[in-house]
């Protein structure tokens, strides 16, 4: 069965430090991987995706993610965190059989000044 | 990316009543999705709504409880029927663009008393 895991419920980072939000997946075939962000009381916003090509994908707001096939991971990263990055982050993988997104449980990112 | 609006943004309803949520997109899209999300938690897919065909419901969701309309390529409605407090949630619509990326509306916050 296809699945996505976000092993950390919450990640705390000091402002200015690098941040990583972890995501691992289990799919059959080539994965389509996505990151979304949800700010408080807001809808989900698309950050970036990997379908094919370069393993390092750059997205909105200075975020990037690295696709690692051997480790089946797609961790979200940013070199220098901002307080405004504090939000709920979701990793998702596209189920090629029915085009639906399979969602991780979400990781709450808290950036402290 | 598509711009998606939802109405109402929030509502408080009495048990036993029904609420219809509207989702409007600024461009024509084939695939639209309706999700439910408890605050701070992951998304649960209710159904997929493609124009010109009946909506496809996920396990645990039935048409009598969540009827969906998809009259054209830019609009859809989700009705939450005979509501109970357990239906209190955030309801999100999303669309998939031609690059296989889902974009989300701002959500409808529903409280059932």
Nearest CA in chain A to B3: A45
> Hey, are the CB atoms on A51 and B100 less than 8 Å from each other?
yes
Return the pLDDT at A12: 98
Nearest CA in chain A to B10: A41
pLDDT digits (tens, 9 = 90+) for A73-102: 999 999 999 999 999 999 999 987 778 899
pLDDT digits (tens, 9 = 90+) for B9-47: 999 999 999 999 999 999 999 889 999 999 889 999 999
Per-residue CA distances from B20 to B17, B23, B60 (Å): 10, 10, 19
| CB-based burial, B22-47: b 16+ in 10 Å, e otherwise | bbebeeebebbbbbbbeeeebbbbbb
pLDDT digits (tens, 9 = 90+) for A100-113: 899 999 999 999 99
């Amino acid at each position: 069965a296809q699945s996505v895991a976000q092993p950390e419920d919450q990640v705390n980072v000091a402002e200015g430090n690098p941040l990583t939000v972890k995501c691992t997946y289990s799919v059959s075939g080539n994965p389509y991987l996505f990151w979304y962000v949800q700010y408080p009381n807001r809808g989900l916003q698309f950050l970036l995706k990997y379908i094919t090509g370069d393993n390092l994908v750059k997205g909105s707001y200075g975020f990037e993610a690295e696709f690692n096939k051997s480790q089946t991971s797609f961790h979200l990263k940013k070199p220098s965190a901002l307080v405004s990055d504090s939000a709920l982050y979701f990793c998702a993988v596209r189920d090629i059989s029915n085009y639906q997104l399979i969602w991780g449980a979400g990781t709450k990112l808290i950036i402290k000044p | 990316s598509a711009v998606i609006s939802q109405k109402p943004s929030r509502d408080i309803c009495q048990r036993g009543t029904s609420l219809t949520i509207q989702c409007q997109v600024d461009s024509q899209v084939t695939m639209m999705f309706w999700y439910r999300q408890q605050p701070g938690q992951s998304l649960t897919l209710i159904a997929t709504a493609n124009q010109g065909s009946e909506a496809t419901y996920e396990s645990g969701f039935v048409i009598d409880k969540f009827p969906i309309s998809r009259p054209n390529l830019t609009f859809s409605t989700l009705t939450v029927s005979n509501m109970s407090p357990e239906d209190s949630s955030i309801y999100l619509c999303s669309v998939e663009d031609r690059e296989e990326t889902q974009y989300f509306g701002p959500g409808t916050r529903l409280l059932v008393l």
